[in-house]
Chains A and B, each alone.
Chain A
Amino acid sequence: MRVFVLGGLVTLFFVAGLPRAAGQATTAKASAPIDITGYWVAFVTEDWRFRMITPRKGDYQPVPMTEQARKTADAWDPGADEASGNQCKAYGAGAIMRLAARFHITWQDENTLRVDSDYGMQTRLLHFAAHSSPGVRTWQGYSTAQWEKPGSLKVATSNLRAGYLRKNGVPYSENAVVTEYFDIAPIPGGGQVLLVTSIVDDPENLRQPFTTSSQFKKEADGSKWDPQPCTAK
């Protein structure tokens, strides 16, 4: 009897502790270790003057820019961006999660997370099942996603259109690669916070990968959702 009990315990340990056998297909949605869907609002406790207002030309600190990037930023012309249809340059994947915005995260299908922003009205698609061709370059690029056990989401984005890290023209190139980690945590007293750590790697414009982490508070519904188009100024 004792042998049966012990055997059962050992079997339970291995069944519970080992990963599923290969071939047991499951969707990203079904295997999600955390739930990041819902409405999230940026809680702007850092870099306020770079995020809530458009900083002055030349106010770049503390971005680790190359000399070439500085020259590019010094030539920033928001009027020209608007005239050329590039008013969304500061809303690309390299910067969007740092904007003072609301985000609505949903499952587009079983293997694709969709992230919509109200400010700039952008849409990101985070693909758990990679496509063969990422297509043309866009502001949001092409994002691949994977769950990191026990409870985190990793997203890698490339195939971008060149954009701005800040609204005052701090540039990133189309070769930039953005790596992000999404984590969630409870707020004492109630609520949830979404933490997004973002690493923009762009040797052309950055002396070292530009690393920021942004906080978002979960909202009960979309009653404060306020879509606004991109502006260059």
Chain B
Amino acid sequence: MIHSFTTLLLGLLACGSAVAQVDLTGSWTPRNHEFLTGDGLPVDFTGIPLSEEGRIRALSYSESQLEMVERQCQGWPAFYLVQGPFGLRIWSETDPIKGNTISYTIGGWEDRAPMTIWMDGRPHPSEYALHTRSGFTTGVWEGNTLVTYTTHMKAGFLRKTGAPSSDEAKVTMRFYRHGDILTVLEIIEDPIYLAEPWILSRSFQLSATPQPPIGPPCVTAYEGSVGATAPHYLPEKNPFVDEMTKKYGVPRDAAIGKPETLYPEYRKKIPPLVPVQ
């Protein structure tokens, strides 16, 4: 009798824990109403709190590197899922005996690998373990919010225009579901290329139209680059450093990602008549 009651009680407690969570599985289409990737100008690092090292690397980058066969399919790190224009397909893996969720997987695209979120309490591997594009991610529920932590990502880019990320970067993501809207908050830490954590978010809408679980395969092709060196710009030689100023009136300090430009008080330092050409 006591055993039956105890079982019932444990069952009720387990139920209480389960209903505290929300269902994230399914297809989510992006609400692309925010500009998270820049608009294609080569030197647009606005909104990124780059460190001095990050800025030097970013300004040395030439998009012509993508002509190189070995770089055409390099893809982007896990945190690109908030920046990119694509939707999310999320599914879960369930323990067939216990019924608990072992993992969630967020499907990939052509240029971002699928991301598995381990929910079974396993630890992150040694810092010397293999680093991959998607990294290693664990997750826990905090109330109705899924909180994930990603390590072991290969060095890549914070933004497609060349702002770099190191293999020491780490990302905390929070998945907030409000009705049919899913908002993903990302806090990216990079001790080498960021002066402070970079915080981004994007919302997605639940969709009955299935999102693909993975994009088309990336196929390399000869695009005219066979040189022995990677295209790049030497210090102070990036010819595009003032493009944002010319096109939009954005001050250079903001275009090159100086951290102080991310706060409202910087507005007072903006020249009143930045010439727009």
Distance in angstroms between the alpha carbons of A188 and B200 in the assembled complex:
14
A136 within 8 Å of B by Cβ? no
Report whether B248 and A56 are in contact in the complex, using a CB–CB cutoff of 8 Å: yes
Which chain B residue has the least Cβ–Cβ distance from A7?
B5
Give B254-274 interface residues, CB cut-off 8 Å to A.
Answer: 254, 261-267, 270, 274
B172 within 8 Å of A by Cβ? yes
A2 within 8 Å of B by Cβ? yes
Report whether B176 and A197 are in contact in the complex, using a CB–CB cutoff of 8 Å: yes
Q: Kindly specify which of B26-34, B103-111, B130-138 makes contact with the partner chain.
A: B26-34
Report whether A210 and B265 are in contact in the complex, using a CB–CB cutoff of 8 Å: no
Report whether A52 and B178 are in contact in the complex, using a CB–CB cutoff of 8 Å: no
Task: Determine how close the nearest CB of chain B comes to the CB of A96; give it in whole angstroms.
Answer: 13
Report whether B198 and A49 are in contact in the complex, using a CB–CB cutoff of 8 Å: no
Report whether A43 and B262 are in contact in the complex, using a CB–CB cutoff of 8 Å: yes
For A3, A63, A154, A199, the residue with the greatest tally of chain B CB atoms inside 10 Å of its CB is A199
Report whether A50 and B35 are in contact in the complex, using a CB–CB cutoff of 8 Å: yes
A68 within 8 Å of B by Cβ? no
Given A64-B33, A189-B189, A197-B181; A46-B47 close (CB under 8 Å): yes
Given A62-B33, A213-B202; A193-B9 close (CB under 8 Å): no
Distance in angstroms between the alpha carbons of A122 and B249 in the assembled complex:
27
A121 within 8 Å of B by Cβ? no
B248 interface neighbour in A49, A217, A226, Cβ under 8 Å = A49
Report whether B266 and A52 are in contact in the complex, using a CB–CB cutoff of 8 Å: yes
B89 within 8 Å of A by Cβ? no
Q: What chain A residues lie within 8 Å of B197 (beta carbons)?
A: 187-189
A104 within 8 Å of B by Cβ? no
A151 within 8 Å of B by Cβ? yes
Report whether A49 and B262 are in contact in the complex, using a CB–CB cutoff of 8 Å: no
User: Contact size class for B?
Assistant: 35 or more
A101 interface neighbour in B13, B202, B264, Cβ under 8 Å = B264
B195 within 8 Å of A by Cβ? no
Scoring A residues 111 to 149 as 1 if CB is less than 8 Å from chain B, else 0, what string do you get?
Answer: 000000011000000000000000000000000000010
A224 within 8 Å of B by Cβ? yes
Report whether B16 and A53 are in contact in the complex, using a CB–CB cutoff of 8 Å: no
Report whether B248 and A59 are in contact in the complex, using a CB–CB cutoff of 8 Å: yes
Q: What chain A residues lie within 8 Å of B49 (beta carbons)?
A: 45
Report whether B34 and A47 are in contact in the complex, using a CB–CB cutoff of 8 Å: yes
A102 interface neighbour in B33, B205, B261, B264, Cβ under 8 Å = B264
Q: What chain B residues lie within 8 Å of A45 (beta carbons)?
A: 47-49, 198-200, 262
Task: Determine how close the nearest CB of chain B comes to the CB of A203; give it in whole angstroms.
Answer: 16
Interface of B is mostly: mixed
A211 within 8 Å of B by Cβ? yes
Distance in angstroms between the alpha carbons of A138 and B6 in the assembled complex:
58
Report whether B263 and A10 are in contact in the complex, using a CB–CB cutoff of 8 Å: no
Distance in angstroms between the alpha carbons of A45 and B197 in the assembled complex:
11
Q: What chain A residues lie within 8 Å of B6 (beta carbons)?
A: 6
B203 interface neighbour in A10, A49, A211, Cβ under 8 Å = A211
A86 within 8 Å of B by Cβ? no
Task: Determine how close the nearest CB of chain B comes to the CB of A93; give it in whole angstroms.
Answer: 17
Q: What chain A residues lie within 8 Å of B12 (beta carbons)?
A: 13, 17
Which chain A residue has the least Cβ–Cβ distance from B20?
A150
Q: What chain A residues lie within 8 Å of B176 (beta carbons)?
A: 152, 181, 183, 195, 197
Which chain A residue has the least Cβ–Cβ distance from B248?
A49
Report whether A212 and B198 are in contact in the complex, using a CB–CB cutoff of 8 Å: no
Distance in angstroms between the alpha carbons of A59 and B248 in the assembled complex:
9
B275 within 8 Å of A by Cβ? no
Scoring B residues 185 to 221 as 1 if CB is less than 8 Å from chain A, else 0, what string do you get?
Answer: 1010100000001111111010000000000000000
Give B147-198 interface residues, CB cut-off 8 Å to A.
Answer: 170, 172, 174, 176, 178, 181, 183, 185, 187, 189, 197-198
Q: What chain B residues lie within 8 Å of A118 (beta carbons)?
A: 264
Q: What chain A residues lie within 8 Å of B143 (beta carbons)?
A: 150-151
Q: What chain B residues lie within 8 Å of A209 (beta carbons)?
A: 31
- A: residues with CB less than 8 A from B are 2-3, 6, 9-10, 13, 17, 41-50, 52-53, 55-56, 59, 61-64, 100-102, 118-119, 148, 150-152, 154, 181, 183, 185, 187-189, 193, 195, 197, 199, 208-215, 217, 224, 226
A-B contact pairs, 26 of them (CB 8 A): A6-B6, A17-B12, A44-B47, A45-B198, A45-B199, A48-B46, A48-B47, A48-B254, A49-B35, A49-B244, A52-B261, A52-B264, A53-B274, A62-B35, A119-B264, A151-B144, A183-B183, A185-B174, A187-B187, A188-B172, A188-B197, A195-B176, A197-B183, A212-B203, A213-B185, A224-B265
